[in-house]
Amino acid sequence: MIALGSDHGGYDLKVAVMEHLKERGIEYKDFGTYDKNSCDYPDFGLAAAKAVASGECEKGIVICTTGIGISMVANKVKGVRCALCSEVSSARLTREHNDANVLAMGGGFVGPVLGCEIVDTFLDTEFSGLEKHSRRIQKMMDMEA
């Protein structure tokens, strides 16, 4: 189960991602927004991130206009490692090296074709499990209050 959240600036890309996930047979839960009316990204980024942190959803995808604000919100949730990606290599590396569990994208910068390629890479790439990466992730997680 994938948690999805966006504001109005990420809505179109989120809709494209939802259609793509359906085509792949991947279940998702949409935490909003549900239209293109102006809204506040913290509301939807927080809901999606909490679903990942609680285990309700395995991973999350959050989208606003730039991806910056909504990634900051997601990273406020204990247990979430959200990475802002605008190309495929970062999506692969953040899974392999950081075991990121939430992907952020900017709907104003990433189109639907590239966005779905980023999503596929993020979802299909496994954590490397290398000791050096596990150690670094543990240090990062130990910083949480």
Residue 105: name the closest of 95, 92, 125, 91 by CA: 91
At residue 132, the pLDDT reads 97
Which amino acid is residue 117, in one-letter code?
Answer: E
**Owning domain of residue 33:** 2-142
Q: Which residues are catalytic?
A: 64, 97
- Band the pLDDT of 42: cuts 50, 70, 90: very high
* pLDDT tier, 143 (very low <50, low <70, confident <90, very high otherwise): very high
Model-level pTM? 0.97
- The mean pLDDT value of the chain amounts to 98
Q: pLDDT tens digits, residue range 49-65? A: 999 999 999 999 999 99
Task: Answer whether residue 25 shows pLDDT above 80.
Answer: yes
Q: 122: closest CA among 22, 21, 19?
A: 21
Query: Given the DSSP bridges, would you call strands 59-64 and 102-106 parallel, antiparallel or unpaired?
Result: parallel
Number of domains in the chain: 1
Q: Is the dihedral of CA 62, 124, 110, 14 positive or negative?
A: negative
pLDDT at 95 > cutoff 80: yes
Q: What is the mean pLDDT of residues 21-42?
A: 98
Average pLDDT over residues 51-80: 98
C-alpha–C-alpha distance, residues 9 and 139, integer Å: 34
Identify the CATH number of the domain in which residue 138 sits.
Answer: 3.40.1400.10
Residue 81 has what DSSP assignment? -
What single DSSP character describes residue 75? T
Q: What is the mean predicted confidence (pLDDT) over 93-115? A: 98
Distance CA 137, CA 64 (A): 26
In whole angstroms, give the CA distance from residue 59 to residue 14: 15
Give the pLDDT confidence score for residue 110 in this predicted structure.
Answer: 98
Q: Is residue 71 over pLDDT 80?
A: yes
Has residue 145 got a pLDDT over 80?
A: no
